[in-house]
Chains A and B, each alone.
Chain A
Amino acid sequence: MTQPLVEVSDLTVTFQGTPPVHAVNGVSFTLAQGEVLGILGESGSGKSVTLKTLLRLLPERRTRIGGKVAVEGRDVLALEGRALADHRGGVVSMIFQDPGLALDPVYTIGRQIAETVIRHEGVSRSTAMARALEMLELVRIPSAKRRLSNYPHEMSGGMRQRAMIALALACKPKLLLADEPTTALDATVQIQILLLLRELQREMGMGVIFVTHDIGVAVEVSDKLAVMYAGSFVETGSVAEIIRDARHPYSQGLLAANLVGAEPGALLKAIPGAPPALHAPPVGCAFAPRCELAGPRCGADPLPLWQARGDRWARCVAAAEAAVPSHAEP
């Protein structure tokens, strides 16, 4: 049997404090080798927190993590010391939103990549530098050799993000986490970076989890999508399924709030209201206060699920009810 690359079940993350914040509430998904999952959601929906859990990057003392997180069958939440250091950067690595902030300003690009390679593979500095050069060429940084001795502030945003990707891929990770890697870039550079990521992903056969709030970006790179709201996945499915046939009102709202096909001069269709504060774990549907279809039955716990396949489902009362007759037909 083929083991999934990533297996997350019933993940909950709570930040302790006054008041506490229930950032992630029961997220489950699996990701196969070489697959790209896009997690789509607005700010504060728990996307980044979910990603950081996979690397155990959240502050240990103030965070309570429940559920199970496994990468290649290994329990990430139980990793300690050396094993954790090998996991970070070796098996799983991450590219960050703003490469201007995520690269250390006092070291050259080459040195930063080489450091990581030395740390994980114990090779000599010259071998590591050769690898760094190879990586910069792989991400198509022009005149890569000279770029090795550049400092981050001497590069443009797009080049920096390429360098960041080179750094993340330097140790040939099995899983790449991308936390809104194109948000800080302008539109033309954005598409270049996305194409590059997609290509490298295919070439290296990596699994990628791509977090974004931009539905266009998510569609560009992903195989399957998960729509996240208030710390839970509300709908998952393949890209095509979600784009053509979104079942959850929130996913439909996200799709409607798009510039494509908008009438000039007409107001964009926005979802009214703001996400909940999550000081307590949500009961029933967290989206109900902003939902047009909300009714008293949306407070049910657990919520009924509309499910077509293992990973094609939406957690919504209305979707479940609407689907009953069509499913009863055949």
Chain B
Amino acid sequence: MAVAQTDIETLATADKPRGYWSGVGRRFLKDKVAVAAGCVAGGLILMAIFAPWVAPQDPFDGTMIRRLSPIGTEGYPLGADELGRDMLSRLIYGARLSLFMGVTPVLIAFVIGSAIGIAAGYAGGWVNSITMRVLDVFYAFPSVLLAIAISGALGAGILNGLLSLTVVFIPPIARVAESVTTAVRKLEYIEAARASGASAFTIVRAHVLGNVLGPIFVYATSLISVSMILAAGLSFLGLGVSPPNPEWGLMLNTLRNAIYVQPWLAALPGVMIFLTSISFNMLSDGLRSAMDIKQ
């Protein structure tokens, strides 16, 4: 009977129903660059967590004798900084604060920014206009300037640094959330959900959130590298982390005077910042293409 006929193609795929996320994982693993970036990023995170076990020396222990030892010195494979502290250990410990300053503000901004953006996007109309215009005010400042201004006003310190970076990242995340939500809100399945009697809350929770969080998350991961660079910048200016804590931006600042004596040594914290930010960026690019169903 005609109605009961099945097409072979659909039967074949029905044999192994695959979830959305397993599909994403499969596509992600095919992307060599993204996998490599993911390994580097994962390695950095592990390194930060297990710093006390990985680091060969105490990062705070310095002597004047070893000041600015070059790379390759016996027992100090990456040399020593301007106070004679082991560079390798300081770089490893520095990952803790640097990654923390990179990830935390983005995470907080992700939660707050998504909430604002999704609410504005789903409400639409004048609520949307007012919210987005207010956020546009923050947009008018370059992000570095805004971070410096807020940090400068609040004073130095890790917490104030975090706060200023969070404020910097809320507007762009809210903006992305708003545009994605506005696009999703007009789709037919939202109307179909309304037609089947779903309340506004259910629609936002199930149908809007489910379709919107992925793209926002991917965008947020690309901000991690920016956040790290900004945090390093704040520390460099003396607004974020204060000495003697190891942090890559701060180390870059204090080693700046040694650039004519030991240029390679002075560049090392910069290399770490570069490595981390590029691996997070490529990781987020890989995620973005893996999550795109339409390809």
A191 to B5, CA, bound (A): 12
Looking at A68-76, A89-97, A265-273, the stretch in contact with chain B turns out to be A89-97
Does the CB pair A101–B14 fall under 8 Å? no
Does the CB pair B191–A150 fall under 8 Å? no
> Interface residue count for B (Cβ, 8 Å)?
35
Does the CB pair B14–A147 fall under 8 Å? yes
- Of all chain B residues, the one with the shortest Cβ separation from A148 is B17
Contacts of B140 in A (CB 8 A): none
- Of all chain B residues, the one with the shortest Cβ separation from A158 is B7
A290 at the interface (CB under 8 A from B): no
Top 8 A-B residue pairs of the complex, sorted by shortest distance between their CB atoms: A89-B197, A89-B196, A88-B197, A101-B188, A142-B6, A106-B210, A102-B192, A85-B197
User: Which applies to chain A's interface (DSSP): helix, strand, loop or mixed?
Assistant: helix
Contact residue among A85, A89, A142, A154 (Cβ-Cβ distance under 8 Å from B18)? A154
Does the CB pair B195–A57 fall under 8 Å? yes
Does the CB pair B210–A104 fall under 8 Å? yes
Residues A64-112 near B (CB distance < 8 A): 84-90, 93-94, 96-98, 101-108
New contact pairs (13) apart from A90-B197, A192-B2, CB-CB < 8 Å? A55-B195, A61-B125, A88-B196, A98-B188, A102-B188, A102-B192, A104-B210, A105-B189, A115-B206, A120-B197, A154-B18, A167-B196, A192-B5
Contacts of B5 in A (CB 8 A): 192
User: Which one of B7, B13, B189 has the highest number of Cβ atoms from chain A below 10 Å of its Cβ?
Assistant: B189
Give the number of residue pairs across the A-B interface with Cβ within 8 Å: 105
A301 to B52, CA, bound (A): 90
Does the CB pair B14–A143 fall under 8 Å? yes
Least distance between B4 CB and chain A CB atoms (Å): 5
Known: A142-B11, A195-B3. A153 touches B293 (CB 8 A): yes
Does the CB pair B3–A192 fall under 8 Å? yes
A202 at the interface (CB under 8 A from B): no
Contacts of B193 in A (CB 8 A): 104
Contacts of A191 in B (CB 8 A): 2
B242 at the interface (CB under 8 A from A): no
Residues A24-68 near B (CB distance < 8 A): 55, 57, 61
> Interface residue count for A (Cβ, 8 Å)?
48
Contact residue among A104, A149, A155, A168 (Cβ-Cβ distance under 8 Å from B189)? A104
Does the CB pair B3–A104 fall under 8 Å? no
A16 at the interface (CB under 8 A from B): no
A116 to B202, CA, bound (A): 11
Contacts of A90 in B (CB 8 A): 197
Contacts of B293 in A (CB 8 A): 105, 153
Least distance between A229 CB and chain B CB atoms (Å): 25
Known: A142-B6, A195-B2. A106 touches B211 (CB 8 A): yes
Does the CB pair A119–B14 fall under 8 Å? no
Q: Pick 20 A–B contacts, CB within 8 A, sort by A.
A: A57-B191, A85-B199, A87-B197, A88-B195, A88-B197, A89-B198, A93-B196, A96-B188, A97-B188, A102-B192, A103-B189, A104-B210, A108-B17, A116-B197, A119-B198, A119-B202, A142-B14, A155-B10, A156-B10, A158-B7
Contacts of A151 in B (CB 8 A): 19-20
- Of all chain B residues, the one with the shortest Cβ separation from A146 is B14
A297 at the interface (CB under 8 A from B): no
Contacts of B9 in A (CB 8 A): 156
B30 at the interface (CB under 8 A from A): no
Residues B170-219 near A (CB distance < 8 A): 187-189, 191-199, 202, 206-207, 210-211
A21 at the interface (CB under 8 A from B): no
Contacts of A104 in B (CB 8 A): 189, 193, 206-207, 210-211
Interface residues, chain B, CB within 8 Å of chain A?
2-7, 9-11, 13-15, 17-20, 125, 187-189, 191-199, 202, 206-207, 210-211, 293
A159 at the interface (CB under 8 A from B): yes
A156 to B19, CA, bound (A): 17
Does the CB pair A156–B3 fall under 8 Å? no
Cβ contacts A287-299/B at 8 Å (1 or 0 each): 0000000000000
- Of all chain B residues, the one with the shortest Cβ separation from A62 is B125
A108 to B17, CA, bound (A): 10
A94 to B211, CA, bound (A): 22
A259 to B196, CA, bound (A): 37
Does the CB pair A101–B196 fall under 8 Å? no
A147 to B14, CA, bound (A): 6
Least distance between A143 CB and chain B CB atoms (Å): 5
A154 to B187, CA, bound (A): 19
A142 to B3, CA, bound (A): 11
Contacts of B10 in A (CB 8 A): 142, 155-156, 159
Contacts of B125 in A (CB 8 A): 61
Does the CB pair A86–B14 fall under 8 Å? no
Known: A86-B197, A105-B293. A154 touches B192 (CB 8 A): no
A125 at the interface (CB under 8 A from B): no
Least distance between B90 CB and chain A CB atoms (Å): 45
Least distance between B12 CB and chain A CB atoms (Å): 11
